Amino acid sequence: MSDSERPNAAVPSFEIPDLELEPVPRSLRQAAPPREPAPPTKAATLASPTASPLDRMFGSSIDFGDDLGDFELERTAQPNAQIATRPASRASATEQTPPPFTPSKPIPSGRAPDVAKLEFDPREVAILADYGEPPDTAALTPAYAYRVFTRQRELKHRLAPLDSESQRAESEREGTLAEFSRAVRPAIEQISEFRRFLAPLLEVEQRAAARGQALNSINAQLGAHNAELDAELATVKSQLEAAQRAEREAHQVHEEREANAKRAEAKLKRLQIEMRAVSQVAEQKLGPAGGPMPALEASQLSDLEQRAHAMQPEVEAARARFDQAKLALGRARTDLATLAQSERQIGRKRQAVDGAFEKELTARSHGVSEAEIEQRLALADLARAVLAAPGTIAFPEEWLERVRSVSEHADQLLVRREMLARAIASYDVARARQGVRLAATAIGISLMLFVFKLIF
């Protein structure tokens, strides 16, 4: 049955929000050549998660069966409605479906939103602040002031970490933009439009290089002084180790010779003790009358005297060797103390050198850090200029996604921080001050009454 012979059926009507469709004349489509392979149906396209709301609204198709053919609502360049029919035989006539519309993601600007231009719903700010409605009567203002004080303390505790996190996110944004500039800089340098952004960057880089060279020069000087002191210290340490070995050897010899001298003196003392004992025995034998010493005791005493006389040189020699060992030990200990003092002096010299260079090193390190920060800011400005001029160079998609992710995170934190700051300041200042004055007045009167009662 041809389209002209088809019985007049009631034209289906339906509504789309804010759009009323009227019946329009139907048109026959030309048969499209077969495609291989078959593309996904529009219903599958619209059911996909990537389909846009406009695709779901204006690109949907409704099948009313074979009697009415395929009734389709299409979206053109301007939102309109078009009714199209197909022949019953779908094998000979197919619809030419345009590719699904996939909007590209916007290119990030890399700039933080203007805080002064941020607008928040007053009701949401009031809910976040939770100060309550300002009282209509003065008697309730102290309670309102107390509520404002307690809530502000809680909100400020929440604001402090959020502010720190927002600053870290902003620093991460600047660092990411700087890395993006370094990645695309070879392409940027070929474009004359960006020379005005490259000029301050080159100036900052030259300043950073000069400061870095100055810092390296100071470090080299400090390293040279420290190298000299290290060499001197190494020499002193080697001498100190040798002196310690000499001191240990001298101490060992001193102990040995001291022991020999003590043994020789002990032998001599034993002979002297025996001699006194023989003399006492002879005196006892002679009695009070006295007389010549008995022959036995005289012989023993003479033998002991000879032995004592023969041992005297040995004792003196042991004492002399012991005295020499004592002197050697003293010299070894003196040398050891001198070297230890030299080691301490070298340590103090190194501390003095480090102190003399520390102030200049600190100042130059701060200068290098400032230049690096300026360089990063210049690179970030260059990245923003490049992002603001799409089409000049090819943006790596992975870099765009990274900049977009970091920027969105930083913007969210900035908006949250600003909303919390505005919530803190959203109280009724006049009523809060009135409550504080009334509370202070009440406390003052109470104290005066208490003092008056104590006095009287």
Between residues 229 and 61, which one has the greater pLDDT? 229
**Same structural domain for residues 235 and 340?**
yes
Q: How many domains does the structure of the chain reveal? A: 3
pLDDT (tens digit per residue) in 127-182 = 999 999 999 998 899 999 999 999 999 999 999 999 999 999 999 999 999 999 88
Residue 15 lies in a domain: yes
3-state secondary structure at position 15: strand
pLDDT (tens digit per residue) in 366-413 = 988 998 888 889 889 888 988 888 878 888 888 889 999 999 999 999
pLDDT at 104: 56
**Same structural domain for residues 365 and 252?**
yes
pLDDT (tens digit per residue) in 210-237 = 989 998 998 999 899 889 999 999 999 9
Band (pLDDT 50/70/90 cuts) for residue 200 is confident
- Torsion sign, CA atoms 199, 204, 208, 211: positive
Residue 110 lies in a domain: no
Residue 256 lies in a domain: yes
Residue 108 lies in a domain: no
Residue 109 lies in a domain: no
**Same structural domain for residues 288 and 321?**
yes
**Same structural domain for residues 218 and 261?**
yes
**Same structural domain for residues 353 and 429?**
no
**Same structural domain for residues 158 and 225?**
no
Residue 251, Ramachandran bin (φ over 0: left; ψ between -120 and 50: alpha; else beta): alpha
**Same structural domain for residues 242 and 357?**
yes
Cα gap 190→192, rounded to integer Å: 7
Buried residues in 429-441 as b, exposed as e (16+ CB within 10 A) = eebbebbbebeee
- DSSP conformational letter for 74: -
**Same structural domain for residues 329 and 217?**
yes
Domain limits at 294?
A: 197-387
Listed residues 330, 359, 387: the one ending a domain = 387
Q: How far is CA 306 from CA 154, 181, 269, 299, 364, in A?
A: 106, 108, 14, 11, 88
- Does the pTM exceed 0.85? no
**Same structural domain for residues 160 and 297?**
no
Listed residues 387, 402, 423: the one ending a domain = 387
CATH number for the domain spanning 349: value is 1.10.287.620
- DSSP conformational letter for 76: -
- Mean pLDDT over 181-192 rounds to 86
**Same structural domain for residues 324 and 382?**
yes
pLDDT at 79: 38
**Same structural domain for residues 212 and 168?**
no
Beta pairing, strands 70-72 & 61-63: antiparallel
